Structure 1
Amino acid sequence: MRPYKGYVAEIWYEEDDTAFHGIVQGIRDTVHFEGNSSEEFTQAFHDSVDDYLAFCKEQGVEPQKPYSGKLALRTTPEIHALLSKAAAHDGKSVNQWVSDTLAEVARKRVDEGSTKVRTRTH
């Protein structure tokens, strides 16, 4: 599913009610939507984002932005050292090297065009 107004959906399928469900990723507020077909689900996603933005405006608060540009990453000391060596090899800071590498891999993944859907059973 494509992002809408900068917001991205996390999707899962509920066998109990035979419907697709989703929430907006990357924000603390809960924006949930559901649908029984891809068209209905996509429209519900768009409507939910629009409703969220309208609600925030009505309340006089800034809507949460999906991503701040800050990413906390924890790893092992060995991987940290390896990242430092790779970054130095490319003449970059660790932060820039990790950012560039993640962007490259993420673009490739997104360009593949598939969205994984989880299935929940209760």
Structure 2
Amino acid sequence: MSSMTYKGYSARVEYDARDDIFVGRVLGVRDIISFHASSVSALHEAFSLALEDYLADCAEQGIAPEKPASGKVMLRIRPEVHAAASIAAQAAGKSLNQWADEVFERAARA
């Protein structure tokens, strides 16, 4: 499995051996936005076309396209983890939000 991005949207890509094609699906939105192609270059084009179609459909319907993330995260974690994270943030001279942003970024890129 691989991923690709376009205009801030990410897609998961898998190879379908039965049909000998690459199949992609945009992640992080409730709407189903999928695409496929038989080569990597065609897959990039299919991804951009699928996303442009989605954005055009939203504009035509007068609705805002869903974004992959709002930047707001609500978490429910164990109190001891919350306390440890708060202490780690304070020790680093950061707010819990700043600290968590850095931790999330490192974890997401790992």
Q: Fold match, TM over 0.5?
A: yes
Q: How large is the Cα RMSD of the aligned pairs?
A: 2.1
Moved segments of 4+, more than 6 Å: none
Deviations 1:76-101 (A, max 9, x none): 44433321221110122222211123
Query: How far apart in 2 are the matches of 1:63 and 1:16?
Result: 33
- Counterpart in the other structure of 2:9: 7
1:61: which partner in 2? 63
Could you tell me whether the CA contact under 8 Å between 2:27 and 2:68 is conserved in 1?
yes
Q: Does 1:73 align with 2:75?
A: yes
**Structure with the greater relative contact order (CA < 8 A, sep ≥ 6): 1 or 2?**
1
Identity of aligned residues (%): 44
Aligned AA (1:67):
A
Q: Secondary structure at the match of 1:8?
A: strand
Question: Structure 1 residues 75, 36: CA separation in 2 closer, same or farther (over 3 Å shift)?
Answer: farther
Tell me, yes or no, if the aligned pair for 2:37 and 2:46 is still in contact at 8 Å: yes
Amino acid at match of 2:25: I
Shift of 1:74: 4.3
Aligned residues: 108
TM-score, normalised to structure 2's length? 0.82
Which structure is higher in strand share? 2
For residues 35 and 72 of structure 1, do their structure 2 counterparts lie closer, same or farther at Cα, with a shift above 3 Å needed? farther
Give matches, 1:77-92, under 5 Å. Answer: 77-92=79-94
Matches within 5 A, 1:99-114: 99-103=101-105, 105=106, 109=109
Per-residue deviation, residues 38-97 of structure 1 (Å, max 9, x unmatched): 011111000000111111111111111121101233444443332122111012222221
Q: Which runs of 5+ in 2 are unaligned?
A: none
* 8 Å Cα contact 2:26-2:33 kept in structure 1: yes
Which residue of structure 1 lines up, in the alignment, with residue 26 of structure 2? 24
Cα distance in 2, alignment partners of residues 35 and 8 from structure 1: 17
